[in-house]
Structure 1
Amino acid sequence: MAVTRSAVKKAPAPVRENPLNLFVWEGTDKRGVKMKGEQSSKNANFLRAELRKQGITPTVVKVKPKPLFGGAGKPVGPKEIAFFSRQLATMMKSGVPIVGALEIIEGGQKNVRMKKMVESIRYDIESGSSLSEAISKHPVQFDELYRNLVRAGESAGVLETVLDTIASYKENIETLKGKIKKALFYPAVVIAVALLVSAILLIYVVPQFEETFKGFGAELPAFTQMIVGMSRFMVSWWWAALLIIIGGLFAFLFFFRRSPAFQHLVDRAILKIPVIGEIMHNSAIARFARTTAVTFKAGVPLVEALDTVAGATGNTVYEKAVHRMRDDVAVGYPVNMAMKQTALFPHMVIQMTAIGEEAGALDAMLFKVAEYYEQEVNNAVDALSSLIEPMIMVIIGTLVGGMVIGMYLPIFKLAATV
């Protein structure tokens, strides 16, 4: 009885777990010089044999003890992934095999989590997996865009070039993010400190003045009465105010992360804020242009590239616009026309995209767009920093200085009547 191929089901390949452990060892070389170090191995006997091959006589081989604190290591961030990509690309371009390159990178890691991740990737590649398959097991650290680019690089036989491009891309994106965070973080912290100081004054300082004012026997100015009323409220209900603030922050973060509609509403509102909105617009355009250029240059089809790029813009308004562009391009529209229909991209970006499409150099033109708008973000952030400093002084002066003036108004009034 003949059995068709379709009827034969292949058994799934067994998933091999990484059995490597980290050992510390001590020994002597052929000259009798004492040596020590750390190395991953399946077990102590394998490591002893490996050390003997290297001309080292091991005296101590034991599993490295885990530290009591900080043993898990810090989370692997985008900057570490960018540095990993740069190192891997550089060594592969120099002719180092990928497994050897990963082993070198692994040995230089101080972050425990990063070290384990690189070790896992190396072991998967030694077991026959490709780099794209190995990094797919770490989707938090290697997002869809990274995996797609690596897969395209492997297919085209230019993996080291793609890794170098990814490293440059991530470095530029992280620099851009850092600029925006710097622009928003400083004023937020200063205003938070000003509010905290104001709350302390209302709870602890103003009540002392209120006791003094009772001995005057005169009616307090309206402004002073307002501050005293705020102080009484804070003394009695400070815990409720604190709960409302904390609850409001938690509620905002909860809905922002879990409700696409709320996130879209917040992102749209941010884009309309003076100065800040312009920075966010330029940032989204820069990230869109650079990400699209990188994916298109790596050989990813344009429709698939736009699908991946949408989530990299950093704003749901632009994300929806890019999804609409993807649908338009999929049915035959040029990119510049699809871009124009969103009513989000400036005329210059649309025209440069059109020129790039006509010349067959879309990726090169988009790289130029990205560089221009990244510079615009840098200039806007520098200008914002200069603008924010006097505004912060005004806010702090209004909050703290207003309360000080309000407390001394009755004293001035009393002095005027004497």
Structure 2
Amino acid sequence: MLFAYKAKESNGRVVEGEVEAGDQKSAIARLREQKLSVVAIAETKKKKKKGKVTSHDIVIFSRQLSTLVSSGVPIVQGLNILESQAESPAFGFVIGAIKTDIEGGLSISEAMRRHPKVFSELYVSMIKAGETGGILDTILERLSSYLESAELLKAKVKSAMMYPMVVGGAAMLITVFLIVFVIPIFKDIFMGFGAELPFMTRLIIGASDFMRAYIIYVAIALGGAGYALKKYVKTEQGSRKVDDIALKLPVFGILLKKVAIAKFSRTLGTLIKSGVPILQGLETVAKTAGNKVIEEVIFKARDSIKEGGRLAEPLKKSNIFPAMVVQMIGVGEETGSLDNMLVKIADFYDQEVDTAVKGLTSMLEPIIMIVMGVVIGFIVIAMFMPMFEMGDLASRQG
């Protein structure tokens, strides 16, 4: 629900704007968190446009806003331009709401913080640092570069996962089609032979009979298992367990670790370079890690720094970050150039991810083809064996 409000700041200035919340009570609570004293609030008839704001939309918006601000265009005018040019109606609505809040007296970061589903904690933290330091144009440039690198990294991982999923799915569908629809035709033919069928043939026919008789129950069982797994993954314990297993997988685990290191280094390096305090930066990085195990490691690193320790020490104990990365971070801490060192690590691991993706794809191609050949070949041989035996029998009788 969307609520229009009029409120007073601590200095007595009256501001107007809109806030999203589940109900009016939640809306008032959110405004109080922002140290606003509500004068009037009511649900607005202005409905939120349907649709989803994609990460690609955010990347383009950041780059365009960076260019406009760097060119000296006032922020409100720049947002007005971007609102009119937004391809996504949902994102156009968000930009318009931000512009309205800024005109009502809020800062850019505060206005963006009201849309947590669109602008992440990392995004808002960097914008706030840019506002505080008076270098919003520079921060927007860094933010744009960071988001573009993150999108490229995500695309590389998706390409690595997509090929085996598509080919494996196609192989499974072909196998099910053969077992459910093709094998029964051969079964009717074989029943007329009046002889005992080879073991391989009986095995395939048994599997076909089972699938035809219980396919609905199999589908329900698989659907139920998938739903239960999805629910389990959403729990704290389940999420951590799945993330831990993912990092320990023989091939994909190595790739996921490299992606995590690249993301950690790029994000923290960009935040520190933008003037965000390291404790706040580590908290933001942990929340956006995307892996519970790595999130715990980063929070331990944050606690270590809070107690006067170094960043490198808890990272070394985690057994996730390689020795080279830990040593480079240690050198960066000692020389006072941690931000530059983290960016260098990120650049190196971006290349490592690229190499790993290419190697993974080239390795999976022959493996998948061999598995498909073995499965389909097994079915074909099982179906033709009785025919060969009947041919041999007929030739001996002749």
SS in 1 for 2:250: coil
Alignment of 1:385-400 (within 5 A): 385-400=361-376
**Matched AA of 1:16:** G
Higher CA-based Rg: 1
SS in 1 for 2:100: helix
Distance 1:11 1:301 in 2: 30
Matched, 1:78 2:30: no
Q: Which of 358, 379, 389 is matched with 1:403 structurally? A: 379
Alpha-carbon offset, residue 13 of structure 1: 5.3
Matched, 1:415 2:397: no
Alignment of 1:373-388 (within 5 A): 373-388=349-364
Distance 1:200 1:99 in 2: 59
For residue 310 of structure 1, what is the aligned residue in structure 2?
Answer: 286
Distance 2:139 2:115 in 1: 19
Structure 1 contact 203–231 (Cα < 8 Å) conserved: yes
Distance 1:16 1:379 in 2: 49
Alpha-carbon offset, residue 338 of structure 1: 2.6
Matched, 1:263 2:230: no
Cα deviation digits, residues 244-277 of structure 1 (max 9, x gap): 2222222222221x21211111111111222211
Matched, 1:301 2:281: no
Alignment of 1:73-152 (within 5 A): 74-152=51-129
Matched, 1:292 2:268: yes
Alpha-carbon offset, residue 110 of structure 1: 2.1
SS in 1 for 2:227: helix
Matched, 1:208 2:209: no
Matched, 1:329 2:329: no
**C-alpha RMSD of the superposition:** 1.9
Alpha-carbon offset, residue 216 of structure 1: 0.7
Q: Which of 136, 151, 164 is matched with 1:159 structurally? A: 136
Cα deviation digits, residues 126-169 of structure 1 (max 9, x gap): 12111001111110010111111111111111111111111111
SS in 2 for 1:16: strand
SS in 1 for 2:320: coil
**Matched AA of 1:181:** K
Matched, 1:169 2:146: yes
For residue 169 of structure 2, what is the aligned residue in structure 1?
Answer: 192
Distance 2:136 2:352 in 1: 32
For residue 17 of structure 2, what is the aligned residue in structure 1?
Answer: 16
Matched, 1:361 2:337: yes
Q: Which runs of 5+ in 1 are unaligned?
A: 1-8, 19-65
- What count of residue pairs does the alignment treat as equivalent? 358
Distance 1:12 1:342, change over 3 A: farther
SS in 2 for 1:343: coil
Structure 1 contact 287–312 (Cα < 8 Å) conserved: no
For residue 225 of structure 2, what is the aligned residue in structure 1?
Answer: 248
**Matched AA of 1:270:** A
Cα deviation digits, residues 336-369 of structure 1 (max 9, x gap): 1232222221110011111111111100000000
Matched, 1:234 2:207: no
Cα deviation digits, residues 164-208 of structure 1 (max 9, x gap): 111111111111111111111221121112111111111111111
Distance 1:88 1:17 in 2: 22
Structure 1 contact 288–312 (Cα < 8 Å) conserved: no
**Matched AA of 1:334:** R
Distance 1:13 1:230, change over 3 A: farther
SS in 1 for 2:276: coil
Structure 1 contact 73–111 (Cα < 8 Å) conserved: no
For residue 36 of structure 2, what is the aligned residue in structure 1?
Answer: none
Q: Which runs of 5+ in 2 are unaligned?
A: 1-9, 20-46
For residue 30 of structure 2, what is the aligned residue in structure 1?
Answer: none
- Give the alignment's TM-score, normalised by structure 2: 0.86
Structure 2 contact 16–101 (Cα < 8 Å) conserved: no
Distance 2:374 2:16 in 1: 65
- Give the alignment's TM-score, normalised by structure 1: 0.82
Distance 1:372 1:91 in 2: 31
